[in-house]
Amino acid sequence: MRISNIYFQTRANMKNNQYDYSSQYSPVLKQGIQQDTFCRSDKTAAPAFTAKQEQISRDPLTKLYKEHLTCICCGRTMIDPKVIEDMRENHVFRCPTKDAIKILEKYENNMHTVEKSVFNLLKEQNNLYPDRSIQQHLIELKKTHELKLIQKQVGIFKLIDKYAEKIKPELHNEIRTYLLDSFNTIKENGSDFSRIKFIKGLESILQNYPNTANKEKLIRLAGKLPTAYDDIDAFIVKYSKPKYTSENIAIRLLSYSMATIEHIHPQTPDTTGKTEAEAIKGANHLYNYVPECMRCNSFRSNKPMVYQLEDYPEMFINAQKAFDRYIDFAEQGKLSKMYIIKLYKALRQESEGVLDLDYSKLKLTKELHKELEKPFTYPINPGKKDVVIVPKPLPEPKTLPITIREGEVKELNKAVKEEPVVIIEPPKEEIAEIRISPLITKRKRKRQIAEEHNPQARPKELPQKNKKVKEKKETVRRNGPRR
């Protein structure tokens, strides 16, 4: 997936990975890129992408960044990359914290959950210590948030140890030793602990173990270790390090809301258990592009879109909202209608038929009708004579043949026919007596009034046996105690 080069103009040797999506600001892996991602060249000042033709074909979408597009995944309004580029070039955040907060307040609604939480903490800290910088505020916050982060990490370690009991005893002992070593690293110096290295080490221990549900569960638990991407405590601990300046932190609060170009079909998809047609690389083509925020773009990496839908159930709604806006742009002449149809088919194919968007608002021509009837084909890189590969048609049993369109759901008639209930209300004068009299409760007085106005209500008579018993007891009491 291609990500705009604006934020990374002053960084080198940066490689994102599918395990830690919060590590865009420091070197993470030494090996080459192994998944759909972005990379910066060591020799040139600007990022060097593998394909040059893509810069031409993505222009119709990048021109729409100023229209305040919403992310197709999370639904948040994205920030135009040019805005962040101007902030970086003009060094607008080289100022006191109170001035930086005024600039960031304009984009508070664009921020994601973790970034917005950090921003609110910075505002509180600025009220207490107005003379400190953003970096100093984070260093102060680290004192309370570091312990919370360690507690979360230790909790994940305990879960891994719990599920490791179900595998071989020898392997369990090796995993337990590895967990204790990692815990000691966190306890002595938390900054030396690397989440990526921990996951890689756990995978190396389990590499000879057969692929079972237990092995998959352990790796997934390790992937749930907190990161600055999805945890406020991890964010504060990470960016309180001296290498991150106040300007870096302020830009970081905005960068994950920046508009980027997402490859619908990843450039380097996961090829395990797939045929040659299913493992085809995603093309650098307009028909394989869709705008998405940097956070969701990084989060997906090269995973199938079905996994993204699992993590973001609201994507079914957000994708339709963004798709409707693209239809409006197509009707205004800012996008081609063919792109709308290609986008619909690509999203449906990549989601295995689950994401079936409504294109009824688009005015279709004969050409577009013919395109809809054609089977889906993967786009080809511009200037290359690749073989057109048609994937297998989507099998019917995998998805239910049901769709919900706007206006198709009938409104339920909520009017329930019930017999009128007669409520006996006491006269106003008697209600006044209830309020004045302090010797009787309101509930008891209302009951007495209701019994008086209802002739059918009579006090319950005690059985004859009970009456005799009561009379005997009373006579005994009158004559005095027994001798």
Residue 320 has a pLDDT of 95
The mean predicted confidence, pLDDT, of the chain is 79
Residues 6 or more apart whose Cβ sits within 8 Å of residue 303: 18, 266, 270
Q: Tell me how far apart the alpha carbons of residues 288 and 261 are, in angstroms, rounded to a whole number.
A: 10
Percent of the chain past pLDDT 70, that is, above it, reads 69
Number of CB atoms found within 10 A of residue 15's CB: 19
- How far are the Cα atoms of 83, 287, 386 from residue 390, in angstroms, in the given order? 40, 15, 12
Quote the longest CA-to-CA distance of the chain: 122
Beta bridge partners, 260, equal 292
What is the average pLDDT across 287-310? 92
Residue 125 has a pLDDT of 94
Q: Binning pLDDT at 50, 70 and 90, where does residue 87 land? A: very high
What is the average pLDDT across 339-355? 93
Range with the lowest mean pLDDT among 45-54, 348-357, 393-402? 45-54
Q: Determine the distance from the C-alpha atom of residue 254 to the mean position of all C-alpha atoms in its chain, rounded to a whole number.
A: 17
Residue 7 has a pLDDT of 44
Q: Tell me how far apart the alpha carbons of residues 362 and 43 are, in angstroms, rounded to a whole number.
A: 47
78-82, 162-166, 205-209, 376-380 — which one is most confidently predicted on average?
Answer: 78-82
pLDDT in tens, 327-345: 999 999 999 999 999 999 9
